[in-house]
Amino acid sequence: MPATITTRLLAQRVIPVLRLESPEATQLAVHCLHAADFRVFEITMTTPGALALIRELAATYPDSLIGAGTVLDTCAAQACLAHGAQFLVSPCSVPGLTALAHRAGAAALPGAFTPSEVRAALDEGADVVKIFPASSGGPAHLAALHAVFPDALFCPTGGVSRENAPAYFAAGAALVGIGNNILDRAALERGERAAVIERARGLLNEIMQRSL
């Protein structure tokens, strides 16, 4: 199962990292992104009602992968898995997170920034290593890590955008995480779903084409 989930993550090439102010805004964002052909979503644990949202979205969108982000300890990891999260993402090293995820048939994307942290994540069996915050080192930092760990699957997150995503792929990213700027927030707040969908679909198509 973790391998299958990882394959689906890699196929989309970009994970929307949703950190919105309410469950309602998150539900609307996922609705629009799903209509724009996204099938992978990361709901951060800083989102109000995150656990209930994960369970509800998993039931509403059975064709999609619903993951939990900003998972900071194993207690939170267990709760996310119990609510249906299919992958766990952390901004840092969380000993035991990968083992918990794998026992539940889920994938693990622990965070790292230094070579030592990457090595530790790989030793624990990480499916993908999240490089965070990506903006602190930029594509050059990722390229240096990729040179040392050429077989690792890296997902830079934090400051990644439509404009700089190609540079991260050129540096060795297997996929990228993009935060709320994946959405037209003003249009979302006005309830202009068509505009949100159009922007998101354009971003997805551009990234898919430019990451090949």
Which residues are the active-site residues?
42, 130
> Among the residues of the chain, which ranges form H helices?
2-12, 23-35, 50-60, 74-82, 97-103, 115-123, 134-148, 165-170, 185-190, 193-210
At 103, list the tokens.
Answer: 């026992």
CA angle 194, 157, 32 (to 5 degrees): 15
d(CA 120, CA 19): 27
**With contact defined as beta carbons under 8 Å apart, do 59 and 86 qualify?**
no
Number of neighbours of residue 126 by Cβ within 10 angstroms: 26
Give CA–CA dist 9/116, Å, rounded: 25
Residues 43/54, Cβ–Cβ less than 8 Å: yes
- DSSP conformation class of 157: B
Q: Which among 95, 117, 104 has a CA at the least distance from the CA of 67?
A: 104
C-alpha–C-alpha distance, residues 72 and 59, integer Å:
25
